[in-house]
Structure 1
Amino acid sequence: MAENTQKDPEMILCDMCTEEDRKPARKTCMKCEISMCVQHLQAHLTTPVLLQTHPLTEPMVLCGTTKCPQHGKLLEYYCLDDMTCVCVSCAIEDQHRLHNMKTFSTAHKELMEKLKAEQEALRGKTEDDNLSLEKWEKSESEKLSHCGVRLIEAVTNLRDISLASVKTSVSARMVSIKTSKSSIEAAQQEKDTFRFLQMYSQVHQDVEKAKAVDLRRGLEPGSDRDKLVQEIRQNGERMVKQASNFWGSLLTLLDPEHHQELVATGPDLFFEPEIFPSSMSLSNNKRKVLHGTWMGECSATLLIRSTLPIPNFLRWVVRLSKKYNWMIGFCGKDSVNDVKNGPVYALSCEDVNLSCLTTAYEDCPEAPSCPQGFGMKMNPGVPNAENRKLTVSSTALTYQGEKEDEPVPRPETVEVCWNFLAASLSFFSRIGQHQREEICTLEMSLNNWDLVPFVQLKMKNAENTATTEKSWKCSCGKVHTMNGSRYISSPFQFECISMSSNCSCGKKLGGPDITELVCELC
């Protein structure tokens, strides 16, 4: 019998039997650190003290893994927070004392149930969300083929290269899902509690990696993606008008974070003047801001309003003149006349320098609150908020990485995205129809504030412009001199540029030829 048992190298033998007749072990005592056959196991099964204090597992080779390396005591508990086995001293005295602790058997049961739930979630992630590689490839091929029918052979080659690259990238990401499935199945087949707990940490890591997989993300960041994106961009510039849609589709496929088709601002949004000098006016649809340069001073604050209820996600695009400084974002409803004197989240441009403004109370709670819409009211549950100091911080924006410390260039077209659920405000620089670059994203903290979206405009060197005397000669020959916003030769002061202010001959002072566009919702 002994000779037969020795032929199976994986069989665990009883440590209490004589060397000549060692029988197969039935259980291993983790406290005694010995394996026992049916006969020698009886004492552990019939003695109440041993039964309660000596944990038994399936036969295994211990190799000194049952003791805590720090305290030298028996490992008896499992820390769910750190996913590791600990001793009683770790559980009640050291770094694990405030963690979620379980006995081995309880932890085994709970984690097995969790693995089953995550296995179902991964199955749903693949099936319900239609993330299979075959369906994805078919969908993208049909969409791009429709755009590429009228294009020359060079464009078709670009499509094939892009699809092959993305397919390779997606296939690599599929490995994480397959690995997680294999890990879960291996863990579920493991009957021994101690072995299961030892391998659970790796299984958990595999599952988390699989849950983070997004098959629609495009190519992984790196030189290969940058090179391919650049190649497509250069070829796109030489394509005819019909190729523009195809080119944009490829960029969105490869790098959706930076390439999305520019969608016009919804027709429900419009400007509402809050501070509006006589030198400025609005278009009839209230989506363009005009300035009569012949009238000097230009410093205005406009709110952005909507004719419709505000959704959970809102975006607008503003085109701005290079001649003006500006600030875009959200400010306090009661501090619109002086946005920096109250809560503000904004992107600011002074000359060619960009900066972001954020606001917080001292000891502001960490958890963000979901705003309620335009004129949104943040969570009113902040105790004694009115007695706490308000801090507005301004941070200059510079590049990171290879262009570290270089200033971010001034954008002409800014896309603003407000996320209701995430309580975040993002700004993008739009370059052409398909390309965009993120400028910054601001997190809105928990406070009792009423916030409204706004745009603030100011002509560069407006102080000097406002005090400079200017003149305008009418076609009738009469010369009108203006200082600030008042014509010396006229008995009235302008209230609005859109109002009729005429020369004695009847012609409008200044004329429409020197009225320029300052900004517009586009």
Structure 2
Amino acid sequence: MSENIKMDPQTILCDMCIEDRKPAKKTCMKCEISMCVQHLQAHLTTPVLLQTHPLTEPMDLCGNTKCSQHGKLLEYYCLDDMTCVCVSCAIEDQHRLHNMKTFSTAHKELLEKLKAEQLILQEKTDDENVSLEKWEKSEREKLGRCSVSLIEAVTKLRDISLTSVQSSVSARMVSLKTSKSSMEAAQKEKDTFRFLQMYSQVHQDVEKAKAVDLRKGLEPGSHRDKLVEEIRQNGEKMVKQASQFWGSLLTLVDPEHHQELVPTGSHLIFEPQSLGPGMSLSKDSRKVFHNSWLGQCSATLLICSTKTASSYQRWVVSLSKESDWTTGLCEKTSAKNLKDGAVYGLCWEDKQLSSLTTKRNEGSQSSTSQGLKVQNTGTEQTGTQLVTTSALITYQGENGEEPVPRPEKVEVLWNFPASTLSFFSRTGQHQREEIITMKLKVSINNWDLVPFVQLGKENIDSTTQQQQWKCSCGKVYSWDGNRYRDNRSGSYYQGCCSCGKVLGPHITEMVCELY
């Protein structure tokens, strides 16, 4: 009786052993069998078998040794496609120009490659561990400072309020103690005459004590008013600190959708290319105003920076709900008329959000954030060797495809090395949602692209309905969208009445701001 040998369940056994199957030494890819040392001898000693039957380490073949397309033995490994192929695949079909290796050679080369990559990843892991320690220390210190500051502010405000109210309550407690002493003294008095003489004062003390309200806070006066104002001011600061704290936590946990809205700073200004009637710019060149009485909102402005950007440029604009707008990148030479040059932008028009991309010879590709979808509207503006395409941006809602709502603020990030232009919707100090990222795959080396904002529609109807305005001197003027007309004489005026007063109402609203 043969000796029973305990073997690993994963051990490959000889397919030719009838009883007491022994562990396999090699597997023949052509015969599709695994053989022990004894049964392997024929393959090792027969020249024909030795030359034409490839042997490998013992393996479970599971019927995968032949090409599914040609039915031939898999003998080579394609390094380009990382798959096993037969001789027909290697010579005749799609792999014929690829880097082909025998199994043993491929095994050796790929094993060396894995070892090299393992060293690289190990070095990166070591570096990342150091970076992670620094990052964790920095984040803990930042959040720690924020939380400590908030706790200190809350504690200080609590102590000030409690101390002040405690002093006031203590003063009111005197009346209770006085009434208690008076009642005890009256109750101890046995002489009727003296008791009756005392009772009037005791009654006053009791009535005064009954009127005491220990929960009414501080007594009216300058001290209470000053403390209320201090609490209000410090409370507002605490709300901001708390908002900053939980916003930092959201950014830490979900940085993709939560980034602190950092103002762009005074180094960014608007450079007007065109301003329609009633349009004006603030002194710091960061706000755009519009007087709706003087005409339809229309302006094109470049966004210029006094600083030189090395790897990216970022701007945030707050835009009016009443105006259509477009923001992004355009050719500087064609800023006044976007149809004449390249443009990459986000457009809000007719209560719909869409993207604008320009291609020359080859198309530009764009990607959207999760849940959003770009639908090509088929609108193309063609210029000299240029095609600008407009595409609606939607998301999958409860009722199917729904339009993306108008962003309150638009944050734009132009990444120079990656050649991408990203647009984000800002709804709060930390809430940020990606709308779309455009990949600028076309050659833009010859295009002088600059950030821009366009307000209103390009084609402005100059024959707007006339509006009338009466000057304090009695003259009545009509505004036709471009100038004032004296209704009595029919004469036209620009800016001032004949009496010298500036014509028209001067109620303006801000329609665009660099945040």
Give the Å deviation of 1:24.
7.5
Structure 1 residue 290 corresponds to structure 2 residue 284: no
In structure 2, do the counterparts of structure 1 residues 4 and 75 end up closer, same or farther at CA, with 3 Å as the change threshold? farther
| Other-structure match for 2:378 | none
In structure 2, do the counterparts of structure 1 residues 386 and 107 end up closer, same or farther at CA, with 3 Å as the change threshold? farther
User: Quick one: which of 504, 510, 515 aligns to 2:508?
Assistant: 515
CA contact (8 A) 1:367 1:446 kept: no
What secondary structure, in the 3-state scheme, does the structure 2 residue paired with 1:433 have?
coil
| Other-structure match for 2:116 | 117
What secondary structure, in the 3-state scheme, does the structure 1 residue paired with 2:293 have?
helix
User: Quick one: which of 440, 447, 451 aligns to 1:444?
Assistant: 440
| Other-structure match for 2:84 | 85
In structure 2, do the counterparts of structure 1 residues 23 and 256 end up closer, same or farther at CA, with 3 Å as the change threshold? closer
What secondary structure, in the 3-state scheme, does the structure 2 residue paired with 1:258 have?
coil
User: Quick one: which of 380, 391, 395 aligns to 1:399?
Assistant: 395
In structure 2, do the counterparts of structure 1 residues 5 and 270 end up closer, same or farther at CA, with 3 Å as the change threshold? same
CA contact (8 A) 1:295 1:484 kept: yes
Matches within 5 A, 1:454-473: 454-458=452-456, 463=461, 467-473=464-470
Deviations 1:429-474 (Å, cap 9, x if unpaired)? 211211122222222231466233221112799637x533334444
* Inter-partner Cα distance in structure 1 for 2:394 and 2:8: 64
Give structure 2 stretches of 5+ with no counterpart: 155-235, 367-381
| Other-structure match for 2:44 | 44
Matches within 5 A, 1:290-369: 290-361=289-360, 364=362
What secondary structure, in the 3-state scheme, does the structure 1 residue paired with 2:402 have?
coil
What secondary structure, in the 3-state scheme, does the structure 1 residue paired with 2:109 have?
helix
Give the percent of matched residue pairs that are identical in Structure 1 and Structure 2: 61
Q: Residue type of the partner of 1:337? A: K
Aligned CA-pair RMSD: 4.1
Q: Residue type of the partner of 2:480? A: N
What secondary structure, in the 3-state scheme, does the structure 1 residue paired with 2:252 have?
helix
User: Quick one: which of 403, 406, 412 aligns to 1:410?
Assistant: 406
CA contact (8 A) 1:28 1:36 kept: no
CA contact (8 A) 1:26 1:38 kept: no
CA contact (8 A) 2:67 2:86 kept: yes
In structure 2, do the counterparts of structure 1 residues 92 and 287 end up closer, same or farther at CA, with 3 Å as the change threshold? same
| Other-structure match for 2:35 | 35
Give the Å deviation of 1:42.
8.6
CA contact (8 A) 1:325 1:460 kept: no
CA contact (8 A) 1:319 1:414 kept: yes
CA contact (8 A) 1:313 1:420 kept: yes
* Inter-partner Cα distance in structure 2 for 1:151 and 1:421: 40
Point out the more displaced range, 347-356 or 93-102. 93-102
Give the Å deviation of 1:116.
1.8
CA contact (8 A) 2:357 2:364 kept: no
Q: Residue type of the partner of 1:399? A: Y
For CA contacts below 8 A with separation 6 or more, give which structure has more relative contact order. Answer: 1
Matches within 5 A, 1:211-226: none
Deviations 1:323-368 (Å, cap 9, x if unpaired)? 211111122344333213543221111242222122224x516799
Structure 1 residue 429 corresponds to structure 2 residue 425: yes
| Other-structure match for 2:259 | 260
Give the Å deviation of 1:249.
0.5
| Other-structure match for 1:228 | none
Give the Å deviation of 1:136.
6.0
Deviations 1:179-205 (Å, cap 9, x if unpaired)? xxxxxxxxxxxxxxxxxxxxxxxxxxx
Deviations 1:471-518 (Å, cap 9, x if unpaired)? 444445554443222222497765xxxxxx44444443346x413322
Give the Å deviation of 1:318.
0.9
Point out the more displaced range, 62-71 or 404-413. 62-71
Matches within 5 A, 1:141-220: 141-151=140-150
User: Quick one: which of 484, 487, 490 aligns to 2:481?
Assistant: 484
Deviations 1:20-75 (Å, cap 9, x if unpaired)? 9x99765444335453638964973794x655544333355656554445544322
Give structure 1 stretches of 5+ with no counterpart: 156-236, 369-384, 495-500
| Other-structure match for 1:193 | none
* Inter-partner Cα distance in structure 1 for 2:7 and 2:322: 86
* Inter-partner Cα distance in structure 2 for 1:359 and 1:140: 42
Deviations 1:264-297 (Å, cap 9, x if unpaired)? 1243222222222343222222222222333224
* Inter-partner Cα distance in structure 2 for 1:135 and 1:298: 51
Q: Residue type of the partner of 1:468? A: Q
CA contact (8 A) 2:328 2:453 kept: yes
What secondary structure, in the 3-state scheme, does the structure 2 residue paired with 1:303 have?
strand
Give the Å deviation of 1:317.
0.8
Structure whose CA Rg is larger: 2
CA contact (8 A) 2:279 2:288 kept: yes
Q: Residue type of the partner of 1:456? A: Q
CA contact (8 A) 1:25 1:38 kept: no
Q: Residue type of the partner of 2:502? A: K
Deviations 1:160-216 (Å, cap 9, x if unpaired)? xxxxxxxxxxxxxxxxxxxxxxxxxxxxxxxxxxxxxxxxxxxxxxxxxxxxxxxxx
Q: Residue type of the partner of 2:355? A: C
* Inter-partner Cα distance in structure 1 for 2:474 and 2:293: 17
In structure 2, do the counterparts of structure 1 residues 360 and 132 end up closer, same or farther at CA, with 3 Å as the change threshold? closer
In structure 2, do the counterparts of structure 1 residues 307 and 75 end up closer, same or farther at CA, with 3 Å as the change threshold? same
TM-score of the pair, normalised by structure 2? 0.67
CA contact (8 A) 1:5 1:24 kept: no
* Inter-partner Cα distance in structure 2 for 1:13 and 1:244: 67
Q: Residue type of the partner of 1:283? A: S
CA contact (8 A) 1:35 1:60 kept: no
| Count of aligned residue pairs for this structure pair | 411
What secondary structure, in the 3-state scheme, does the structure 1 residue paired with 2:438 have?
strand
Point out the more displaced range, 405-414 or 255-264. 405-414
* Inter-partner Cα distance in structure 2 for 1:77 and 1:304: 59
What secondary structure, in the 3-state scheme, does the structure 2 residue paired with 1:322 have?
coil
Q: Residue type of the partner of 2:435? A: I
Point out the more displaced range, 107-116 or 332-341. 332-341
Q: Residue type of the partner of 1:265? A: T
What secondary structure, in the 3-state scheme, does the structure 1 residue paired with 2:441 have?
coil
